């Protein structure tokens, strides 16, 4: 029952497909960090409490320390490495955390960002109370949370502004090309 | 904090899962959401030799609402029940209670069947199932049996489920109209397991008096506790803060919660009374609005 029970899995992480062989007892957090070299996902408690290892799996936030790698076969995963653009420009959430000092040591940050990212997709105009609820599954020992809430609030505004200007640009394009488009 | 070695099977249908469970017996553990089992394996409090992962058995994941009953498959995830508009329409208690389970990251994976079989005395689902009079269907290679919550929950983390059985479905009767519900709990931090939790239902008659009422507490004993003594005296009366407060005072004599590092027995009793009053009042207010 040692090496011989390894299984081959194929998973997509941040849009890139990986195939690797893992022992069933290997946690998804360890597959990401040790097999795929994606050490952005942090590991704190390994029993589901701290939230540092939060990623999204098939569009839902999950604890990667409470999923086995073999269970992620064929899954679509997003980690903190998938937030920034390929050219290195930051995701609005990352920019807002920078701007508002939403981190100190940074250990909790990858998990907080992944939770907040999913939270803002579900709830683009949250109140501060809702933001607190949204990040309640992530523990931070440094910041006292105030600046994290400020940062998520700022990111929500930035994302909404981006969405609006995208809409405006596409309106402009329609006008420029002179075509009439049914909306 | 890494689990011990185990063999892994992920059957695609129930029949195969039951065959594997029968073959490996006490060496095997079913895994659904893994949100209780994996922490225990990581801490090596559990060291199953064989894991039978039922996550690929799609036939166990469903929500069906008929005129009289809500049927939920054992593998249905917490968030699916939480987000179901159908369930919110016919049984808003479930929607309210589901939000109290851990955090959204836990509810993404955790399953209804897993929470029920895990049978933590301060978990929300066993309390809600007991209040609602749910029935559980257990499948084994010999066939199926259906049990009530009373028959199912035995004591702390212990149920009547046999080594070769899988909880496949949960049947929840849909209450009559003019029934209001509420659930609330005391936790040290948001998302923690509760110290004490209470759930209540109140059904009103045409004339505004109480036709029936129930109260169920968690965190006071090894299993959820239905306190009929508290609610039977309320029947036929018009709900009021005084009536509810008076009925709840007797809880101090009816429960004998064990003390632990989080709370003394007396403190738990006080919490029981406070939370029982709160949920009964809310349930009565909500019934009056229907
Ligand atoms: C940080 C954190 C906070 C939490 N907070 C809460 C909370 O506030 N309230 C709460 O209720 N829970 C809480 N939980 C526990 C969580 O709800 C679990 O999901 C749940 O207790 C178990 O469900 P599961 O599907 O994950 O089961 P698993 O962990 O997969 O299994 C649990 C047990 O049930 C057995 N089992 C599972 N499914 C079946 C089945 N269909 N048939 C037979 N046996 C089965 C398994 O063999 C195992 O023994 C928390 C967990 C974490 C990590
Ligand atoms: S490492 Fe996964 S929740 Fe703490
Ligand atoms: S910034 Fe240090 S734990 Fe959050």
Report whether B190 contacts A136 (CB < 8 A): yes
pLDDT in tens, A19-68: 999 999 999 999 999 999 999 999 999 999 999 999 999 999 999 999 99
Q: What is the mean pLDDT of residues B10-38?
A: 97
Q: Is the CB of B52 under 6 A from ligand 1?
A: no
Q: What is the mean pLDDT of residues A162-174?
A: 74
State the span(s) of chain B assigned CATH 3.30.390.50: 179-288
The pTM of the full predicted model, rounded to 2 decimals, is: 0.95
State the span(s) of chain B assigned CATH 3.30.465.10: 58-173
pLDDT over threshold 90, residue B14: yes
pLDDT in tens, A100-154: 999 999 999 999 999 999 999 999 999 999 999 999 999 999 999 999 999 999 9
Q: Could you say which of B5, B34, B109 has the minimum Cβ distance to residue A2?
A: B5
Q: Give the A:B interface size as CB pairs under 8 Å.
A: 90
Q: Shortest Cα distance from A57 to chain B (angstroms)?
A: 9
Mutate to test the pocket of ligand 2, among A41, A52, A55, A57 (most ligand atoms within 8 A of CB): A52
B227 token code pair: 């306190």
Report whether A102 contacts A86 (CB < 8 A): no
For chain A, the farthest-separated pair of C-alpha atoms sits apart, in whole angstroms, at 68
Report whether B282 contacts B179 (CB < 8 A): no
Report whether A109 contacts A52 (CB < 8 A): no
In whole numbers, what is the pLDDT of chain B averaged over residues? 96
For residue B210, what pLDDT is reported?
97
Q: Is the CB of B123 under 6 A from ligand 1?
A: yes
Residue ranges of chain B whose CB lies within 8 Å of a chain A CB: 1-8, 10, 34-35, 38-39, 41-43, 49, 51, 53, 55, 79, 102-106, 108-109, 190-191
Domain spanning B7-53, CATH architecture:
2-Layer Sandwich (3.30)
Q: How many residues are there in chain B?
A: 290
pLDDT in tens, B188-210: 988 888 999 999 999 999 999 99
Q: Is the CB of A106 under 6 A from ligand 3?
A: yes
B190/A2 touch (CB, cutoff 8 Å), yes or no: no
Using an 8 Å CB-CB cutoff, list chain A residues near B10: 70-71
| Ligand 1 atom 16, closest CA | B35
Fold (topology level) of B58-173: 3.30.465
Comparing CA positions, the residue from B118, B157, B163 lying closest to residue B140 is: B163
The pLDDT-based confidence of B276 (bands split at 50, 70, 90) is very high
pLDDT over threshold 90, residue B177: no
For residue A178, what pLDDT is reported?
44
Superfamily of domain B179-288, CATH level 4: CO dehydrogenase flavoprotein, C-terminal domain (3.30.390.50)
Q: Could you say which of A45, A61, A134 has the minimum Cβ distance to residue B108?
A: A61
State the span(s) of chain B assigned CATH 3.30.43.10: 7-53
Q: What angle do CA A132, A119, A124 make, to 5 degrees?
A: 100
* Domains of chain A (ranges, CATH numbers): 7-82 (3.10.20.30), 92-174 (1.10.150.120)
Using an 8 Å CB-CB cutoff, list chain A residues near B7: 1, 5, 24
């Amino acid at each position: 029952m040692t090496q011989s029970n390894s299984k081959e899995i194929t998973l997509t992480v941040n849009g890139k497909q990986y195939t690797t062989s893992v022992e069933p007892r290997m946690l998804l957090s360890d597959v990401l960090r040790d097999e795929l070299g994606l050490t952005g996902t942090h590991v704190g408690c390994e029993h589901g409490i701290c939230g540092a290892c939060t990623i999204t799996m098939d569009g839902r936030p999950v604890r990667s320390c409470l999923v086995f790698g073999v269970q992620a076969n064929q899954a679509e995963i997003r980690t903190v490495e998938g937030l920034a653009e390929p050219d290195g420009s930051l995701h609005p959430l990352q920019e807002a955390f920078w701007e508002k000092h939403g981190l100190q040591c940074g250990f909790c940050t990858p998990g907080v960002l992944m939770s907040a990212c999913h939270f803002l997709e579900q709830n683009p105009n949250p109140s501060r109370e809702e933001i607190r609820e949204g990040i309640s599954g992530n523990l931070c020992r440094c910041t006292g949370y105030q600046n994290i809430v400020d940062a998520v609030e700022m990111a929500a505004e930035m994302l909404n502004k981006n969405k609006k200007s995208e809409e405006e640009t596409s309106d402009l394009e329609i006008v420029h090309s002179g075509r009439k488009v049914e909306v | 904090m890494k689990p011990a070695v185990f063999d892994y099977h992920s059957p695609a249908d129930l029949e195969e899962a039951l065959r594997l469970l029968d073959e490996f017996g006490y060496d095997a553990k079913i895994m659904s959401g893994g949100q209780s089992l994996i922490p225990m394996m990581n801490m090596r409090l559990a060291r199953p030799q064989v894991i039978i992962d039922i996550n690929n058995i799609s036939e166990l994941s469903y929500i069906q609402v008929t005129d009289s009953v809500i049927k939920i498959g054992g593998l249905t995830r917490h968030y699916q029940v939480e987000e179901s508009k159908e369930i919110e329409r016919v049984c808003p208690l479930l929607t309210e209670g589901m939000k109290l389970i851990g955090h959204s990251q836990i509810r993404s994976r955790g399953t209804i069947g897993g929470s029920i079989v895990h049978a933590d005395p301060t978990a929300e689902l066993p309390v809600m199932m007991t209040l609602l009079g749910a029935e559980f269907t257990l499948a084994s290679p010999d066939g199926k049996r259906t049990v009530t919550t009373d028959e199912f929950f035995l004591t702390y983390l212990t149920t009547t489920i046999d080594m070769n059985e899988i909880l496949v479905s949960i049947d929840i009767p849909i209450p009559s109209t003019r029934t209001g519900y509420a659930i609330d709990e005391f936790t040290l931090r948001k998302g923690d397991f509760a110290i004490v939790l209470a759930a209540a239902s109140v059904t009103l008659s045409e004339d505004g008096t109480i036709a029936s009422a129930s109260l169920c507490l968690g965190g006071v004993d090894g299993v959820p506790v239905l306190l009929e003594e508290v609610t039977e005296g309320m029947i036929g009366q018009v709900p009021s803060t005084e009536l509810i407060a008076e009925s709840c005072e007797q809880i101090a004599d009816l429960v004998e919660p064990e003390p632990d590092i989080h709370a003394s027995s007396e403190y738990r009793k006080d919490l029981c009374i406070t939370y029982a009053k709160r949920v009964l009042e809310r349930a009565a207010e909500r019934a009056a609005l229907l």
